Amino acid sequence: MTYIIGEIGQNHNGSVDIAKLIIDFASRPVRDNLFDLELPRINAVKLTKRDLTEELSETKMKEPYNSPNSFGVTYGEHREYLELSDSDHFECYKYAKGKGLEFVETITSIKAMSVLKLFKPDYLKVASRDLTNLPLLDELAKTGIPMIISTGMAGKKQLDLALEVITSHHHNVSILHCVSEYPTHPDNVNLNTIDYLKENYPKYQIGYSDHTIGISAAIAAVAKGAEIIEKHITINRDMKGTDQKGSLGIDGQQKMIRDIRLLEKSLGIKDVFISKSTHQAKKKLERSLATKRDLAAGHIIEENDLCMLSPGDGYTWNERSSILGKELLEPIPANEIIYPHFLK
């Protein structure tokens, strides 16, 4: 089953209450009403922990930030407003666990690892921009907590170096194809990278961190074999914030999860497959050997007497040798199926 992560990111807008509300909606049951199916819901939610003393230069922190999405006069004030404390993260962790969800934590610096003194997330996430931050990867890997790494800003060399550092401590690592473009233009999605990662990194779970608008790319990624899907979620895409527009709202989350779960059911087996449920349709719609014209009792059936008509509960064309040369016991009008009891 695909492991689906709802990334809250900074869509909480600095509020634990909003974060909890996002968790509430993410944890809702998922149904397909047409087939009356209860489907597995989202698996986990994710927050990001930063320590601003290890995040930005002083110049960048003091830079004026004039934007409709700004929560401060400077970029530093904006970032400070959006940061939740360690105890806030712990509260969200407990809330998600209470809802039966797993919890993923993106940690962006060594100082931000202080949050791990309060709780142990199910996974540690490494953002694309930190894949080359090898000292951070080393410290995160030392915890032994399973890790998920994104590749949005790295090539094969950088990915291999990151894996070398992490696997010196443990091998519980998953790799997500990612494009660090928000939102990602369709020309740049390149889902075939999933095939490349699965072929070249077979020891690891491969997934997709989706920054496109809508849900089609995530669903297609699962069809290509992605085992993890990460997608930004919110409660209202019209809320203030840089990530809100590119996130899935309440209905979008439900649709994506439903469609992924239905796709999982739909993949089936590698074979030419006839479902038991198609037998009635097969009987109704397929064609059987039938009379091309009126045939009298005692007539010996020839191939030019035959045509193909529905329903499909008689002889098939490949079974015509079973009736050719046989004598009719009773007359059959034109355009009627030839059944065994008509034959001598």
The pLDDT tens digits of the residues spanning 283-309 come to 889 999 999 999 999 999 999 999 999
Q: What is the structure's pLDDT at 278?
A: 79
Q: 329 pLDDT exceeds 90?
A: yes
| Residue 206: closest CA among 196, 214, 215 | 196
Counting residues of the chain whose pLDDT is more than 70, the rounded percentage is: 100
Q: What is the structure's pLDDT at 342?
A: 95
| Residue 3: closest CA among 141, 108, 103, 137 | 103
Counting residues of the chain whose pLDDT is more than 90, the rounded percentage is: 91
What confidence category does residue 217 fall into, taking pLDDT thresholds of 50, 70 and 90? very high
Distance CA 311, CA 287 (A): 6
Q: Residue 342: phi, psi to the nearest 5?
A: -80, -15
For residues 106-128, average pLDDT: 97
Q: What is the structure's pLDDT at 272?
A: 84
Q: 277 pLDDT exceeds 80?
A: no
Q: 195 pLDDT exceeds 90?
A: yes
Cβ-based burial of 242 (10 A; exposed 0-12, middle 13-18, buried ≥19): middle
Strand runs labelled E in the chain: 3-7, 30-32, 37-39, 44-49, 102-107, 123-126, 147-150, 173-178, 205-210, 228-232, 288-291, 306-309
| Residue 290: closest CA among 328, 261, 316 | 316
**Considering all CA atoms of the chain, what is the largest pairwise distance in Å, rounded to the nearest integer?**
103
Distance CA 297, CA 161 (A): 84
For residues 17-25, average pLDDT: 98
3-state SS class at 94: helix
Which residues of the chain form CATH 3.90.1210.10? 276-342
Question: According to CATH, what is the number of the domain 3-266?
Answer: 3.20.20.70
Q: 158 pLDDT exceeds 80?
A: yes
Q: What is the structure's pLDDT at 154?
A: 86
List pLDDT tens digits, range 28-72: 999 999 999 999 999 999 999 999 999 889 999 999 999 999 999
Q: What is the structure's pLDDT at 209?
A: 97
For residues 314-334, average pLDDT: 96
Q: Which of 90-99, 171-180, 222-231, 239-248 has the lowest mean pLDDT?
A: 239-248
What confidence category does residue 282 fall into, taking pLDDT thresholds of 50, 70 and 90? confident
**Contact (Cβ atoms closer than 8 angstroms) between residue 6 and residue 44:** yes
Q: 133 pLDDT exceeds 90?
A: yes
What confidence category does residue 75 fall into, taking pLDDT thresholds of 50, 70 and 90? very high
Supply the DSSP string of 130-181, one letter for each residue.
GTT-HHHHHHHHHT---EEEE-TT--HHHHHHHHHHHTTT---EEEEEE---
Q: Over the chain, what is the mean pLDDT?
A: 95
Q: Residue 26: phi, psi to the nearest 5?
A: -65, -30
For residues 265-283, average pLDDT: 84
Domain 276-342 indexed as CATH 3.90.1210.10: yes
Which residues of the chain form CATH 3.20.20.70? 3-266
Distance CA 290, CA 336 (A): 5
Q: What is the structure's pLDDT at 182?
A: 87
**Contact (Cβ atoms closer than 8 angstroms) between residue 209 and residue 197:** no
Q: What is the structure's pLDDT at 281?
A: 83
> Residue 250: enclosing H or E segment and its boundaries?
helix 250-266
Q: 269 pLDDT exceeds 90?
A: no
Give CB contacts under 8 A, 24+ apart, made by 319-322.
Answer: 319/289, 320/289
Q: 274 pLDDT exceeds 80?
A: no
